[in-house]
A and B are shown apart, each in its own frame.
Chain A
C-alpha cells in the first residue's frame, strides 16, 4: 500500500489504534452510503424539473410533520457514536500507559530538517548520537523523549505508532514496541519550513542480537585512513564538514548537523531524501541546494579531486 500507511501496523502502539481506525472508517462509510441512498430516494421522487414556472406549478402543502426522522436518525446515530467514544477512551488509556520499566530510552531532537537521535545509558561511555535512522530491538518497549530545538516538528512512524510533536520548551513522551522485524518509514508531520517535505527517518526493528551488535558498532570512533586520498579526505572533513558535523575520533566535533561517524551504516542520506549510494552522496555533497533547496547545508564548491578524497574518507565511516 504505502510505506507510510497506517491501515497496517507492526508495533503495539499502532496495533491499539489500527482496529479503531478501521472501525470508524467502516462506520463512516456505512453512514455515507445510508444517507446517500436515502437522499437518492427522496430526490428521485421529484415531481418536476425546471425553473421558476415548474416550482410555482407544484402547490404548497403543510405535509406530515416528519419530525420523527430527526428523533430516529439521531437515536440510531448515537449508537456508533457511543461505541466510538467508549473505545476511544479505552484505547487512549492503553496507549497512555507508557511502558515504565523499559530498558531503552531514546532522545530524539528534530531539527530543520533532520533527526538527531541519542541513545542514553547509565554508563557515560555507552552514550552515542546518530541521525535519521533509529534502531530498536523487536519486542522491547522503547521510550522516546522528544525535545524541541528550533521549531515544532512531529515524530511519526505510522506502522509503529501515532504521532507526537516535539515542542520547544517541553519534553514530550511517546513509545515504540515493534512486533515484527523490518524497516519502517517515518516522516516529520508538522509543517516546519522549506524542507518539511524531505524530513523523513527510518526505524529499523531487529533481533536483540543484531541490535546489540549495531549498538556496539555505533560506539566505535572512526577508523584511521589508510590511503593518501583518505588522509586528504579526512583533513577536508575535519576542516570543512567539521564546521557543522561530528565524526568521533577526528577533530570534527560540531553538533548542528547529523553525526557522520557511522554514516555508511545508514541506508539513506539527507533525512530520507536520497539513497546512500556513491552517486547520490557525491551529488549531495557537490550541490545540496539543488537536491534539497533551502536546507541548511551550503554548497561546498569542492574541486573534483577534493570531492573524490572526501568520498574516499567517508567510505570508511561504517
Chain B
C-alpha cells in the first residue's frame, strides 16, 4: 500500500503503542546477522570506540618496548631494523588507527542524539566506513606482524621509501593500507557534513549546535579535501615502487619534495582534525561540571573554524629545513605564529567557564580541566617551532616529540577519557567507578608529565628523533630514564581505565537519563537510548534545551515531550542547513549486509594489488561493483523510485 508523496507529520506525545511501533521499525536483529548488517549509529559508534581503544593499546605497547630500548644509552634490546619498524608502526597506529577513529566513534554515537535525530544522514555509508576502517587496520597490522610494517616513520619520506632503499613489502603494505583507510575517512567525513547540515532537530539553528558538532564538522570538511592529497601521495609512491614511474625520484626529474608537500598539505589539517572534535567534547562537557553555559560560545565556534582555515596555510612549517626559498618560509612562519590566536580563544573560554562557574570535581572534570594545561604546554612548544630560525634547531629533535605528545595526548587522549567518563552512563546505563577514576586520572596525569615534560629538555640538549640508541656522555641518560619510567606509569593509568570500563560494564552503578543534570538533547532520552533515539522529534529553542527554565535567557522553550511522531515508517526529519526548518521526511534504510560485503570486496582488491595478483584484485573489484549496484538499487520504501506499475 503506497503512502502519499507528501504528508503532514503527525504531532503528539509518546505512548506505549508508539514506542512499540518505533522499536519494531528500528531494532536490529539479534545474533550474527544483526551484527553484520546493522546500520544503527550507536552500535557502529561503539565498534569504532572499542576498535580504536584496541589500537591505542597496541600502539602503547609498541611505545613501551621503545622506551625500554631507550631507557639507557647503547641499548641492545632491539636491532635498528626492529626499532625503526616499531617507531613507524607506533606513529601510524596512534595517528591513523586511534586518534581519528576514536573521535569518529564518539561522533557517530553522539551526533544524532546531540542533534535530535534518529540516525546519521547515511546509515549504510556509516556502517561501510567502520568495516573499511577495521579491514584496513587489519591489513596494515598484517604487514607489521609479518615483519613488513612501515619502517620510514609515519610520514614516510622519499627517497628512503622508494624501492631502491626499501625493497621489501613494508612500503607497499603501508601505501596501499593508507589508501584503503583513506576511503573510510572520506566516507565518514561526507556523512558528518550532510548529517550536520541536513538532519538537525527543528529549531536547532547552526548557532545552537553543541561545539562538538562544530569541531567534527570542521574536521570533516578539512578531511574531505585533504585526505585525497595523502591518498594520492601514497598511490604515486606505490606506482614508483611497482611500475617504475618517476614521481619522486630525482634521477628522472622526479621531485622528492613533492612527497613532503602532498603529505603535509594533508598532514597539517589532519592534526587539527584529530584535536578539534576533542576540544569540542571539552567545550560541551566542561560546562556541565561548572554548572553554567560555556563562556563565549560564538567565539569558540568561530575559533574552531578559523583554526582549521588557517591550518590549511601552515603545512610548510614541517619543511622549514628542506631548502625552500626564504620568502615562502616567512609566510608560513607568520601564519604558524598567528594560528595560536584562535587556540588561545578556546583556552580562555574554558578558563573563564571554570572561573565564573561553580566547579564540581569529578573524574570527567579532572580530565577536561587538566587538558587545558596540557593544551597550553603543547601550544607553546608549537609556537616556538613556528619561528623558522628556532625551528632550525628544534626540528627533528626530541623537543618536537615532546610537543607532539602534549598536543596529541593532551588534546585528544585526555578529552577522550574524560568524554568516556561523561558519556559512559548514557551509552551503557551504568557509571564508571568514580574512586577508581581518580586513580586512573592521577596515574595518567603524573605518568604523562613525568614522561614528556623532561623530554623538552632532552630535545633542547640536542637529542635527535628516530634514533634507535644514543651514546652516553651526551647528557641524555637520566632524562631518558625518567621518560621511560613515566611512560610505564602512564601505561598503568591507561590499564586502570580499561579495568574501570570492564568492571563497570559488569557491575557499575545504574544511571538515569540525565545523571549529570546536563543541558543537551542526548540527556533527554533513556540510558542507554532505544534504537530510535527519540520517540518524539524534539524542537529546539536554545543552546541548552534542558536548562532553559534555569537559565531563563528568553521565554522560548524547547520541547522534547511533544512534537513530530514520524512512525509511519523508519523515519526522521530533514531540516534546512542554517535555521533547521523542517523541509522533508527522511526514509531511513533497513539493516543490510551490503556494506560488509562491499568492505570485504575492497579488502580483496587491496590484497590483490599488494600481491600483484590481478585475478584477486579483479575479483575484489567485481564484488565491490556488485555490492554497490545492490546497495544503490532504487527502492520504493526509500522513495528512490516510483511504485511498480499495476
Contact = CB atoms under 8 A, between A and B. Distances in A.
Q: Determine direct contact between A and B, CB below 8 Å.
A: yes
A46 B516 contact: no
Interface in A151-176: 151-152, 154, 156, 158, 161-165, 167-170, 172-173
Given A55-B360, A169-B254, A191-B152, 17 more contacts: A3-B474, A4-B463, A6-B460, A24-B384, A31-B380, A39-B369, A55-B516, A69-B355, A70-B296, A73-B351, A81-B338, A84-B337, A92-B326, A167-B250, A190-B396, A191-B396, A294-B80
Interface in B291-314: 291-293, 295-296, 299
A189 interface: yes
Contact of A52 (B79, B291, B397, B516): B516
B461 to A, nearest CB: 4
Nearest to A41: B355
B389 A88 contact: yes
A85 B323 contact: no
Contacts of B551: 60-62
B396 A154 contact: yes
A175 B385 CA distance: 21
Interface in B532-558: 547, 550-553
Interface of B: 79-81, 84, 152-153, 157-160, 164-165, 249-251, 254-257, 288-289, 291-293, 295-296, 299, 321-323, 326, 329-330, 333-334, 337-338, 340-341, 344-345, 347-349, 351-362, 369, 372-373, 376-377, 380-381, 383-384, 386-397, 425, 431, 434, 460-470, 474-476, 511, 515-517, 519, 547, 550-553
Contact of B333 (A59, A92, A188, A195): A92
Interface in A31-45: 31-32, 35-36, 38-39, 41-43, 45
Interface string A47-67: 111111011101111111111
Contact of B347 (A35, A78, A93, A154): A35
B160 A193 contact: yes
A16 interface: yes
Return the 9 tightest CB-CB contacts between A and B, nearest first: A162-B392, A4-B462, A169-B250, A73-B348, A172-B323, A197-B467, A28-B380, A69-B352, A2-B475
B380 A191 contact: no
A70 B348 contact: yes
A84 B339 CA distance: 13
A182 to B, nearest CB: 16
B344 A158 contact: no
Contacts of A3: 462, 474-475
A197 B164 CA distance: 21
Contacts of A67: 295-296, 299, 352
A92 B388 contact: yes
Contacts of B470: 197
14 contacts: A4-B462, A28-B380, A39-B354, A47-B360, A54-B360, A60-B519, A62-B551, A63-B356, A84-B386, A150-B159, A162-B393, A194-B80, A197-B468, A197-B469
B515 A52 contact: yes
B80 A81 contact: no
Given A42-B359, A63-B292, A28 B384 contact: yes
A167 B79 CA distance: 27
Contacts of B475: 1-3, 5
A46 B361 contact: yes
Given A31-B380, A43-B354, A20 B390 contact: yes
B341 A81 contact: yes
A294 B255 CA distance: 27
Given A5-B475, A35-B373, A78-B341, A70 B516 contact: no
A310 B542 CA distance: 85
Contacts of B389: 16-17, 20, 88, 91-92, 95, 162
A43 B386 CA distance: 31
A1 B461 contact: yes
A89 interface: yes
A179 to B, nearest CB: 17
Contacts of A69: 295-296, 348-349, 351-352, 355
A62 B460 contact: no
A65 to B, nearest CB: 7
B388 A88 contact: yes
Contacts of B397: 189
A132 interface: no
A112 B164 CA distance: 13
Given A61-B550, A193-B165, A39 B351 contact: yes
B431 A81 contact: no
Contacts of A293: 79-81
Nearest to A89: B330
Contacts of A172: 322-323
B351 A56 contact: no
B605 to A, nearest CB: 31
Given A189-B396, A195-B80, A38 B340 contact: no
Nearest to A170: B323
A41 B153 CA distance: 41
Contacts of A93: 326
A4 B347 CA distance: 35
A89 B153 CA distance: 31
Given A51-B434, A59-B291, A85-B337, A148 B387 contact: no
Interface string A119-139: 000000000000000000000
A299 interface: no
A192 interface: yes
Contacts of B329: 92
Given A3-B474, A25-B384, A152-B256, A50 B434 contact: yes
B384 A55 contact: no
Contact of B348 (A49, A74, A162, A191): A74
Contacts of B347: 35, 73
A169 B256 contact: yes
A172 B159 CA distance: 16
B568 to A, nearest CB: 37
A256 interface: no
A254 to B, nearest CB: 19
